[in-house]
Amino acid sequence: MTPRMTDHMKRAKAGFEPMFAVETAIQGSTLEPMLIHLVKLRASQINGCAFCLQMHVAEALKDGETPLRLHMLPAWRESGLYSERERAALAWTEALTLLPQTAAPDADWNAVEAAFDADERAWLTLSIAAINLWNRVQAGLRVPHATTLPTVQAHAA
């Protein structure tokens, strides 16, 4: 794969700086870091963004996420490894990432309402929108991913 552009963040610095500010704000929200990792990874899987997948897998592992939960993420609906709160967030992530196909179903929103307070719902939705924007930039420009991950001890989920 040949990168289409690698200096895009320098060329559009005034546009990317607010995106980084949004990421900083999301990290400072009341959402759990592991939940944010799962949301970013699931959207990146759907969107096929190799750069974002590598980056967010590395960050999740560094923050203590288990390899098993990361491996099972594409099949989260069939796995008991995720809490109801995580399941609601993942369903909402899929609904918004695939918006033309899903139309953001009420059932998914109702699950989000049951699991998150109003502020958290806003931050969750912003988190999903932000990673989808990053995916489209990085995948669209074919930005190459790193080729390593942090070393982790294999342990149960």
pLDDT below 50 — which residues of the chain? none
pLDDT of residue 115: 99
Contact 5, 94 (CB under 8 A): no
Kindly state whether residue 136 falls inside one of the protein's structural domains: yes
Kindly state whether residue 35 falls inside one of the protein's structural domains: yes
Range of the domain at 39: 24-140
Q: How wide is the angle at C-alpha 102 spanned by C-alphas 101 and 103, nearest 5°?
A: 105
How far from 95 is each of 10, 42, 48, 76, CA to CA, in Å? 32, 11, 16, 14
pLDDT of residue 121: 99
Kindly state whether residue 54 falls inside one of the protein's structural domains: yes
pLDDT of residue 152: 60
pLDDT of residue 148: 79
Q: Helix or strand or coil: residue 83? A: coil
CATH of residue 119's domain is 1.20.1290.10
Kindly state whether residue 83 falls inside one of the protein's structural domains: yes
pLDDT tens string 27-54: 999 999 999 999 999 999 999 999 999 9
Kindly state whether residue 43 falls inside one of the protein's structural domains: yes
Kindly state whether residue 62 falls inside one of the protein's structural domains: yes
Kindly state whether residue 6 falls inside one of the protein's structural domains: no
Kindly state whether residue 14 falls inside one of the protein's structural domains: no
Interacting residues of 1 by C-beta distance below 8 A, sequence separation 6+? 142, 144
pLDDT of residue 149: 74
Q: What is the average pLDDT score of the chain?
A: 94
Domain tally for the chain? 1
